[in-house]
Amino acid sequence: MTNVKIHDKVSHSEISSIFRKTRYIYHSPEVNEPFCRMVAEALLCGCELIGNKSKIGSFLEYSNKGKEKFKQNCHNASDIFWQKIKTIL
């Protein structure tokens, strides 16, 4: 398969540059994943997800909110989390 590249472990700083050069990413979990950071990072870098999309929380949120709102929510995730915690304390 000349159009498929499988990477060994890479540093976190290399991930976004690899995703930006990638058209598709395959991820197909067997169980529901509440978020899945790898998929979120790939989507925000412009990759298209191939695999079982119905079990990945980040893909479902990306699809429902759209790219810009999803990106904003990822960027503000810690603030959103602590605001929600304050409402229950």
What's the confidence (pLDDT) of residue 3?
Answer: 80
Number of domains in the chain: 1
The range of the structural domain enclosing residue 18 comes to 12-88
Task: For residue 4, tell me if it sits in a domain.
Answer: no
- Residue 6 lies inside a defined structural domain of this protein: no
Neighbours of 56 (CB within 10 A): 25
> By the 8 A CB rule, do 6 and 32 touch?
no
Q: Say what the pLDDT of residue 6 is.
A: 83
Query: pTM, whole model, 2 decimals?
Result: 0.79
Q: Which residues of the chain fall below pLDDT 70? A: 1
Q: Within a domain: residue 3? A: no
Residue 5 lies in a domain: no
pLDDT given at position 7? 83
Per-residue pLDDT at 54: 92
The strand pairing partners of 50, in sequence order, are 26
Residues 6 or more apart whose Cβ sits within 8 Å of residue 56? 27, 29, 33, 36, 39, 49
pLDDT of residue 1: 60
| In a domain? residue 21 | yes
**3-class secondary structure, 15:** helix
Tokens of 46: 């412009």
